[in-house]
Amino acid sequence: MTTPHYIDGRWVEGQGNDCITVHEPALGLPFAELMSASTAQVDQAVAAARRALPAWKHTSAAARAALLRGFAEQLGARRDPLIALQMRNNGKPRHEAEIDLDDAVATFAYYADLAEQLPEKNRDVPLAVPGFSARTRLEPVGVVGLIVPWNFPLVTSAWKLAPALAAGCTVVLKPSEVTPLIEQAYGQIADVLGLPAGVLNIVNGKAETGAALSSHSGLEKLSFTGSNGVGSQVMRASAAQCRPVTLELGGKSAIVVFDDCDVEQAVQWIIAGITWNAGQMCSATSRLLVQDGIADALLARLQAALETMQVGNPLTEEVQMGPLTSQAQWLKVAGYFATAREEGLQCLAGGKVLDRDGWFVSPTLYVDVPEHSRLWLEEIFGPVLCARRFSTEQQAIAQANDSRFGLVATVCSAELQRAERVADALEVGHVWINSVQAVFVETSWGGTKGSGIGRELGPWGLAAYQSVKHVTRCLG
């Protein structure tokens, strides 16, 4: 950990003011330390990306595609150690860490395919007025800053890094200080593949490093995934530069269960939406809206399932849910448990931190939660589910949409026409019907309202790193 920063094709020591301590959340113990990058090193990384940009953006689409496939193959070759690191540093159960790795591999492979198609996208534009011709060019935005969160490291960075490189951009990547280690694999892979120096730069650090990158005048774009509080700071910094941003922020998403559902199946969908990654997901469906006719039976079954859920250290036990990733998040969730007691909420399951080493909390269910409760309104980022009942389809839609967030939602109903109708009425960016939260690289990711700006994944993710240029010529 003496050279944790990858700048201009070299691994260098940190020269910043912060010592970053990396913890194993299942034990609550540190296992690595690294010095943050200084503001001067952020400058160096941006300068390296600027130097590399002219040659990289003119590299053939086929060559960029080959390098992206190389990233996919190299991630696969590192499968076991990367999975182990996700389990150790994030506290993810093995099956979740495996899906993370597979997601990152699929993302690089997908954008390799899109990169090969880029020449076909430079096309003639028919004009209604004779005597002129026009054509469209899709060009890379330029140098981009990528700031990624701690809940899905490796994955979120793949969602940003792969399309940026495919488009011909050069990048400066800042991982979270909570999980700074796994993104170093990208620098290692860049070395193995011979990626030109400066195309990819990685700087680690805390708020000072993030602020230096997000306010840097040498960037043409910034893409950020994280909290709304930090996202607003990133947006202000970019506004000073009149620079575009992609922001993937918070959520307080709803799962709507109609009374024609099979109870056991519905419980599985609900649990997956609130306990995956210990609920530390912007897409967590933490507001359960259940129709009156099924409510009593479903809540009783859900209570039993949550109370018997296997929670523990994924490195030593077969578990369904691991710990929270940081002590700060553990304290935050514990604070919401205290708020629930103050508000007099009815707790059917959990509602407490677990008396053991590490940062564990119980999967939790509160019922008949008032719409003015902090737990109903605010993003908790933990395995805390709040339930309310509804009678009609219109009530369900109104309650689901009554939120300052609009990231995702899930609809559960045996009547597919109704499910599709409700999905169309929900004010969110992604809806699942009768499903767990399966995310495919071909689909889009992003939200409405306070959940962010722009889209990732799919062709929309590539377009986020492209600038459209038209060339018009007089034929006379």
Positions marked active-site: 248, 282
DSSP codes joined into one string, 385-428: EEEEEESSHHHHHHHHH-SSEESEEEEE-S-HHHHHHHHHHS-S
* Cβ–Cβ < 8 Å for 170, 56: yes
Separation between Cα atoms, residue 473 and residue 113, nearest integer Å: 32
DSSP codes joined into one string, 345-376: PEEEE--SB-SSSSS-B--EEEES--TT-HHH
Residues 6+ apart with CB under 8 A from 400: 254, 256, 287, 289, 409, 426
Instruction: Report the half-sphere exposure of 169 (CA within 13 A, side-chain side).
Output: 32
Separation between Cα atoms, residue 469 and residue 467, nearest integer Å: 6
| Angle, alpha carbons 168-172-176 (nearest 5°) | 130
DSSP state of 16: S
Q: Token pair for residue 83? A: 């999975």
DSSP state of 148: -
Helices first, then strands: H and E counts in the chain: 15, 21
Mapping DSSP to helix (H, G, I), strand (E, B) and coil, where does residue 437 land?
coil
* Cβ–Cβ < 8 Å for 370, 376: yes
Mapping DSSP to helix (H, G, I), strand (E, B) and coil, where does residue 151 land?
coil
Residue 390 pairs with which residues in a beta bridge?
291
- Amino acid identity at 272: A
Residue 453 pairs with which residues in a beta bridge?
247
Separation between Cα atoms, residue 139 and residue 176, nearest integer Å: 29
Alpha helices in 28-93 (DSSP H): 39-57, 61-77, 79-90
DSSP state of 276: G
Which residue from 159, 152, 158, 167 is spatially nearest to 220, judged by alpha carbons?
Answer: 167
b (16+ CB within 10 A) / e for 27-48: bbeeeeebbbbbbebbebbbbb
Residue 245 pairs with which residues in a beta bridge?
222
Separation between Cα atoms, residue 62 and residue 70, nearest integer Å: 12
Q: What is the dihedral of CA 425, 428, 432, 436, to 10 degrees?
A: -140
